[in-house]
Amino acid sequence: MPLAREHELHRRRSGRNIGVGLLLVAFILLVFGLTIAKVERGGTIEAFDHTYRPGLAVRHEELQQGEER
C-alpha cells in the first residue's frame, strides 16, 4: 500500500489548475499580440516623455483657432 494516496479532490484541483494556467497563457499571448501590433505601426506611438510632440501641437493650434472665432 502506497504511503500517499491521491484523493479525488486532488484530481479535480489539478484539472482546475490546468484550466487556470491555460487561461493565463491565453491572456499573456493576447497582451503580447496587441503589443506587437501596436509597435509595428510605429508612427502612432507617442509616449509622455516631456518632449515636443508635433501631432499634439497641430491639434492644439486648431483648437485655439476654433476658440477665437
Does residue 1 carry a pLDDT above 60?
Answer: no
Instruction: Tell me the three cell numbers of residue 6.
Output: 491521491
The 3 state secondary structure assigned to the chain is CCCCCCCHHHHHHHHHHHHHHHHHHHHHHHHHHHHHHHHHHCCCCCCCCCCCCHHHHHHHHHHHHHHHC
The answer to whether 46 and 53 are in contact (CB under 8 A) is: yes
**pLDDT per position as a tens digit, 36-49:** 887 777 655 556 66
Quote the CA–CA distance of 8 and 15 in Å, as a whole number: 11
pLDDT tier for residue 20 given thresholds of 50, 70 and 90: very high
Give the residue, 6 or 59, on which the prediction is more confident. 6
Give the residue, 17 or 6, on which the prediction is more confident. 17
